[in-house]
Amino acid sequence: MVKKIAAVSCGVLLGIVIAFARAGAFPFWSSSAQQEQSKPRPVPPERTAQAAPNHQPAPANQPEPNEISIPIHSFAPLVKRVMPSVVNVSVVQEVKSGMPFGGSGDQGGPGDSPEGPEGPGGPGDQGPNGPFGQQQNPFDQFRRFFGQIPHQYKQHGLGSGVIVSPDGYILTNYHVVGHADEIHVRLLDKREFTAKVVGKDAKTDLALIKIKIDTKQPLPVATLGDSNAAEVGDWVVAIGSPFGFNSTVTAGIISAKGRALGGNYDDFIQTDASINPGNSGGPLFNTKGQVIGINTAIYSSTGSNAGIGFAIPIDIAKQVMEQLKEHGKVVRGWLGVEIQEVTPDLAQSFNLPKPEGALVANVEKDGPALKAGILRGDIVMKFNGTPVQDEHQLPELVAQTPIGQTVPIEVIRNGKRLTLQAKVGELKDEQLASAKGEAPGSNWGLQVQSITPEIANQLNLNSTKGVVVRGVQPDSAAADAGIQQGDVVLEVNHAKVNTVGDFLSAAKQAKKDKKSALLLVQRGNATMYTVIKPQG
């Protein structure tokens, strides 16, 4: 009997032990096998492809199911491959006494202390046609690294460039070679050449130069990529000659795209890759070794890298380069309008559901827009079938349109959509494709007076209609609206203002209604819209 009880007890105990082992409680002989079974099995490619169309998007801030993350251990192989296509560009300019050296290369030596736009002849001081071209521009801290020359002598400058064709064409910046008397190019293999300017374009800050090559020694040519396909967060590599240190490599990411810095054709790539004096004109590469930008400027209060650099997208550079090669200049379309941003306040004043389009602040005489029937106050929503998201986009669309082509332009006028036909003209150097208005403000507080013939003569006005602003109170209504002394108010809420009485009547009504007032203001030869909000 005792033997039977002992046998049964042993059997029960053995069963319990086996059960625990199978459950994974103890690491017996089968645990390794179970671990192997628990490992995720790779999904065959064909099954992944079949499942991909039906997979649900990943939750916010989580990677997509099939997203691939490839760490970059070194840029060395890429740099070794593309480095030979980057060149050093040195320039010489004959400078007269007191003349600002405003456009022949970045200053070179390691000991240089570049002056900024605050001083005469600063890096952006290239007149109204410079890449940052406006006086008193809020981006006055953009540097192009030049200084004031005390007397007449030969000034040397330094920049970079990239070889874009085997027959010796090199792409660089306008501000590097635009005013140079001599241009010298040095390759990585120490070959040196004298270059000539094929064409230059100050509006995009691009220039195309050419060297005469020895056919027995072909040139290393860079591959031009697709800047439109580049995304914020992508790794990029900049190569150039900062402070005279040839073939310097820096890396970073694309910080932003579509940056506008004050010019009509700005569409910069922003990067935190270190860019300094001497980098100008050098290439910005992606991780495939393709050029996606031409380094051109930095934002800095010291003249050295502050982590905010800008490159001209290669898609724009390619278009400009082809025209420079063919014509020696860029031929751009011209519409003949001054435009400004549609701000939320302006959108509300024009009864738009959201801020979009480009507001026509003025229409030039005998221009294509006037002949097409475009009026001041129209809001351009589409140009040749392309939606106009903002005022920065319209000049680019117009500039890229072939001269003489008739295109449909969709505008909003008094709440109604109209489609007009405009024949695009050619932009001359003295013409402007757009003129951006000042930022609108939020309060009342200005003094006005009638325009007498004396005042009209003093302000170079062609008419005595409207009222002139005598003064603006600080921190008041008009001050925040951007209105300045000497401005002429032409309209209030679309009603023409011919006298002080007209203005006061319209202003009184706006205050009574406690609504924002839309003012059309003339400043010099330009007109703009601005909004004054009711006081708190």
Shared-domain flag, residues 227 and 269: yes
Could you give the CA distance from residue 176 to residue 443 in angstroms, rounded to a whole number?
45
Residues forming the active site = 175, 205, 280
Shared-domain flag, residues 360 and 297: no
- Residue 441 is assigned to a structural domain of this protein: no
Indicate the residue among 162, 183, 211 that finishes a domain: 211
Could you give the CA distance from residue 522 to residue 514 in angstroms, rounded to a whole number?
25
**Counting beta carbons within 10 angstroms of the beta carbon of residue 463, is it exposed (0 to 12), middle (13 to 18) or buried (19 or more)?**
exposed
Q: What is the pLDDT of residues 404-432, one digit of tens each?
A: 999 999 999 998 999 999 999 998 764 43
Query: Would the pLDDT of 251 be above 50?
Result: yes
- Residue 292 is assigned to a structural domain of this protein: yes
Domain count, the chain: 4
- Residue 58 is assigned to a structural domain of this protein: no
- Residue 55 is assigned to a structural domain of this protein: no
Confidence class of residue 138 from pLDDT cuts 50, 70 and 90?
very low
- Residue 437 is assigned to a structural domain of this protein: no
**Counting beta carbons within 10 angstroms of the beta carbon of residue 5, is it exposed (0 to 12), middle (13 to 18) or buried (19 or more)?**
exposed
Shared-domain flag, residues 176 and 87: yes
Q: Per residue, what are the HEC states of 158-211?
A: EEEEEECCCCCEEEECHHHHCCCCEEEEECCCCCEEEEEEEEEECCCCEEEEEE
Work out the average pLDDT over 441-464. Answer: 69
Shared-domain flag, residues 105 and 200: yes
Q: What is the pLDDT of residues 47-67, one digit of tens each?
A: 444 444 455 555 555 556 665
Residue 421: how many CB atoms within 10 A of its CB?
Answer: 11
Angle, alpha carbons 190-195-198 (nearest 5°):
145
- Residue 523 is assigned to a structural domain of this protein: yes
- Residue 50 is assigned to a structural domain of this protein: no
Shared-domain flag, residues 160 and 84: yes
Indicate the residue among 308, 327, 346 that finishes a domain: 327
For residue 515, give its domain range. Answer: 446-532
CB 287 within 8 A of CB 234: yes
In 3D space, the residue among 71, 51, 175 whose CA is nearest the CA of residue 117 turns out to be: 175
Shared-domain flag, residues 283 and 386: no
Q: What is the pLDDT of residues 326-365, one digit of tens each?
A: 989 898 999 998 888 898 988 888 889 999 999 998 888 8
Shared-domain flag, residues 450 and 414: no
- Residue 510 is assigned to a structural domain of this protein: yes
Shared-domain flag, residues 259 and 284: yes
- Reduced to 3 states (helix: H, G, I; strand: E, B; else coil), residue 280 is coil
| CA 116 to each of CA 113, 225, 301: distance values in angstroms, whole numbers, following the listed order | 10, 32, 8
Shared-domain flag, residues 108 and 194: yes
| Paired strand residues for 236 | 252
Residue 379, domain CATH: 2.30.42.10
Could you give the CA distance from residue 24 to residue 34 in angstroms, rounded to a whole number?
8
**Which pair of structure tokens corresponds to residue 259?**
């940056």
Could you give the CA distance from residue 401 to residue 423 in angstroms, rounded to a whole number?
10
Shared-domain flag, residues 83 and 207: yes
Indicate the residue among 378, 393, 426 that finishes a domain: 426
Shared-domain flag, residues 321 and 371: no
- Lowest-confidence region among 226-230, 246-250, 298-302, 487-491: 298-302
Q: What is the pLDDT of residues 165-189, one digit of tens each?
A: 999 999 999 999 988 999 999 999 9
Shared-domain flag, residues 279 and 378: no
Could you give the CA distance from residue 376 to residue 370 in angstroms, rounded to a whole number?
10
